[in-house]
Structure 1
Amino acid sequence: MKSKIAKYSLFLLDLAIVLFSFLLVAKLRSGTRVIISNYWRSLIPFTLVWIGSGMWGLKYSLGSIDSGAELLKRIFKCNAVAILGIMILMYIFGKFHYSRYIVLGTILSVVLIELFVFVGLYYAFRFHKENKTFASTGLITRSKEMEDLQSPKFYLEEQLQIPTISSEAYIPPFSAAIPEDSIMVPLFQNYLKDYPDLLSFINDFVDISRFSMARTLVLNSETYFNIQNEAESSRHLFINLHKINDFRRLNYYFIRV
């Protein structure tokens, strides 16, 4: 029963494709109303021949087709017979004055739309047949177990506390460097002597005396190349005096630092 319904549905669909193709070609041509009034009578035998060839070649029996290649063979065979029949009728009735644009344009449009629609429907039916369980699954699924896991009872209540911000300078976890090796003096005298505000800010929040010169890197660069060869965890303090707005791939730069 389902196969008969599908067969008749494809029959009606092909009929609609023929009518749509003719109207589309007429719409793309100037004088659409004149074209429709001059060709609508000839469209009737055209449609009968086209649909008849499809029924003769079992083009609408998708259930009896084993592969996509076989479907293409049937479509081309039926359409070739239909085109031959249409040309013979035009010769018999002397319709040599018909516009090649209208006739060939309608034929080409029907063939292209049929290939797209029929092949798509064939693989859709085939997928539904071979994967009935998956195909019957709705687009939106609900799981009682997942909903229970996301319910509020599975989340621990967090105690809301206002974080406190310490005004004391940060003390690194490693021991203080000896004065001769500390980076403090070079920062004050060389690197940051032209940046008093920056130096004051760093000194207020970080105990600079604990950083040694060997473990500190100070540079003024906008390229990632200058730090990519630095070994991981080889520096305790990193200062780049260049504006970060000039950096390319800024996030990658920060990750590396």
Structure 2
Amino acid sequence: MKLWFSLFCILCMLFASCEDNKKQSQEKAPVVKEVKEEKPKDSVPAEKKKESLVTDPSYPKITNENAVEFFTAYGKENPETKVRVSTSYGDIDIELYEDTPLHRANFIYLVKQNYFENTFFHRIVPNFIIQGGNSDLRTTPRKRHILGKDYLLPAELGNGRKHKYGTVSGSKEYRENPDNRTAPYEFFIFLGPQSSTGHLNDKYTIFGRVTSGMKAVETIANLPHDEGDWPLQNVYISVKIIE
């Protein structure tokens, strides 16, 4: 009888140990999946979401054929040059250059069309750049589809500007892009060093500069990130016009 009782006690202890390990595993799992599952806004019914995807869907869809004409006219009607990018790590104030009129008008247009809301600083490279304007939320490609998902901006180079601490530039695609045209929805803020500008200068359009908030930029650049430079915790941005 004592033998059976001892065996019973041992089995109970083993079972309890397995249950404890199982509970610990279940508690840790959501930490790994947290970034991927952080999509609460996609639970909103599609018919309600469409109403707030962009501010004014009555504008024509932008294409490579009408982009220059559209943004030339839009820029004259919307002369703003100062915006504020808000994050949970602080605000970043940006001045947009008037001598890159297409890029300035495009950025103002995207701000007023609500494009940047719930996008991220989705690529961070310490001591180099942080890049914003994209996300893994389904709302982002939907907005691009409404506004014009295939257009590129002509490069606005030749003004003598070089990448330096705090410059704001348009991202670009390398595929079939000998004219260094800009992908309109994404931008990056340069942190340095100057020795890393050889492949950027005269190839990426610089259309603004950070006037306040580089401390927030530095903080974001040094966040933990994966091998693809994506922050482990999404860095949401919100952009508004301040002048």
| Shorter-chain TM band | under 0.3
Higher helix share: 1
* TM-score when normalising by structure 1: 0.22
Larger radius of gyration: 1
Higher strand share: 2
* TM-score when normalising by structure 2: 0.22
